[in-house]
Amino acid sequence: MTLSATQDGADHLLAHAETAEPRFRHHFAGAPAPYLVLYFEDDPPVSALGDAGFSTVLAWPSPAKLGELMTAALRQNALGRQGGGALSDEAEATLRLQTDAVLTAQELKQEGVVAHELGHTWYKAAFWRDSDIALDGYATPAPDWLDETAAILTEGDTLAESRRKLFLRGWTDLEPRERSASGAIGDLAHFLQRPHPSQTRETTPSNSAGTTSVPVTVRMGDAPNSTDAYSNQVRVFADYLIARTGDAAVFAQVSQAVAMGLNFEAWLGSQTQYPALPRTVLALQADWASWINGWALRPRT
């Protein structure tokens, strides 16, 4: 369900949300929880929505609100660079052009971003709604890579392929020994236990009913930052797990095990459903690197 001041706005959000539903169902072996996505102009009505029984809510800034937030963020950046004071007329004109450019880019990728955030809320509802495990991750008690996987896998094909290409670029830019160095792109032991690199979500307003407002982050340029690089790695690791297990819903199996108290390596060592999957993180890392190198040689469109 979507909510907006205009029918066009509601239809726009609904189209983005509905494309994500079958992808979540495909990878997590269950229907997404009932949800509400709404455009908001001011503060989202978090308490009222919770009281009304909406347990899974994504509050999304309307185009007008997003423009306001973008302008404020860009102005703050500009003032910080010049050491305070008022901006010149020329700087204000540049600011307007930057805002328009960021909003255009945001509109182009909105489908993927809405789907991504819904993936987080659906994952929490599917596996962690009644969990008594302490929250030590950034969104659920699951390891951050697994929680992020739920969001990444609900994104559309265009964004998925972009993530793969960016990961591959980072992989091929490194010497083979550098790829598996401590903390590097191929260090699975680090990847599987590291916290999500973005601190944004830790300050995202939410309530016990699961209502979430999407934070706004302004980035300029095409180079992936640490959060983007992490998400690209999540995308390719998910591809690897699907390839090695032959099961697009392997993530449901892992999540159920983690919800019962196992960590990922314990699940690897105990599972018998996927004989082609290595049984330790050390063996998994070697196999993953081999798979990536073979995958990198395949023709790409």
What residue type is assigned to position 271 of the chain?
Q
What residue type is assigned to position 262 of the chain?
L
Measured distance between the N- and C-terminal CA atoms of the chain, rounded to whole angstroms: 35
pLDDT value at 103 more than 80:
no
pLDDT value at 58 more than 60:
yes
pLDDT tens column, 185-236: 889 999 999 998 874 443 333 444 444 444 444 443 444 578 889 999 999 9
pLDDT value at 298 more than 80:
no
Q: How much is the pTM?
A: 0.75
pLDDT tens column, 119-151: 998 999 899 887 766 655 567 889 999 999 999
Asked whether residue 63 is domain-assigned, the answer is: yes
Given this model, what pLDDT does residue 24 score? Answer: 95
Tokens of 18: 């509905």
Asked whether residue 301 is domain-assigned, the answer is: no
Asked whether residue 197 is domain-assigned, the answer is: yes
**Could you say which DSSP state residue 200 is in?**
G
Number of domains present in the structure of the chain: 1
Q: State how far the Cα of 220 lies from the Cα of 52, in Å rounded to an integer.
A: 39
Question: In 128-173, which ranges are continuous DSSP H helix?
Answer: 144-152, 157-172
Asked whether residue 263 is domain-assigned, the answer is: yes
Q: State how far the Cα of 71 lies from the Cα of 291, in Å rounded to an integer.
A: 44
Asked whether residue 226 is domain-assigned, the answer is: yes
- Which residue pairs, CB below 8 angstroms and at least 24 apart, start in 77-84? 77/218
Given this model, what pLDDT does residue 135 score? Answer: 59
Percent with pLDDT over 90 in the chain: 36
Asked whether residue 199 is domain-assigned, the answer is: yes
pLDDT value at 291 more than 90:
yes
pLDDT value at 56 more than 80:
no
Which residue has tokens 């896998």? 153
Q: State how far the Cα of 173 lies from the Cα of 179, in Å rounded to an integer.
A: 9
pLDDT value at 296 more than 80:
no
Asked whether residue 107 is domain-assigned, the answer is: yes
| Contact indicator for 162, 155 with CB cutoff of 8 Å | no
- Residue 12 has φ and ψ, to the nearest 5°, of -60, -50
Asked whether residue 178 is domain-assigned, the answer is: yes
pLDDT tens column, 166-187: 999 999 998 988 888 888 888 9
Mean confidence (pLDDT) of the chain:
79
Domain of 51? 2-214+221-296
CA distances 156 to 110, 140, 160, 162, 216, Å, are 11, 23, 6, 10, 21
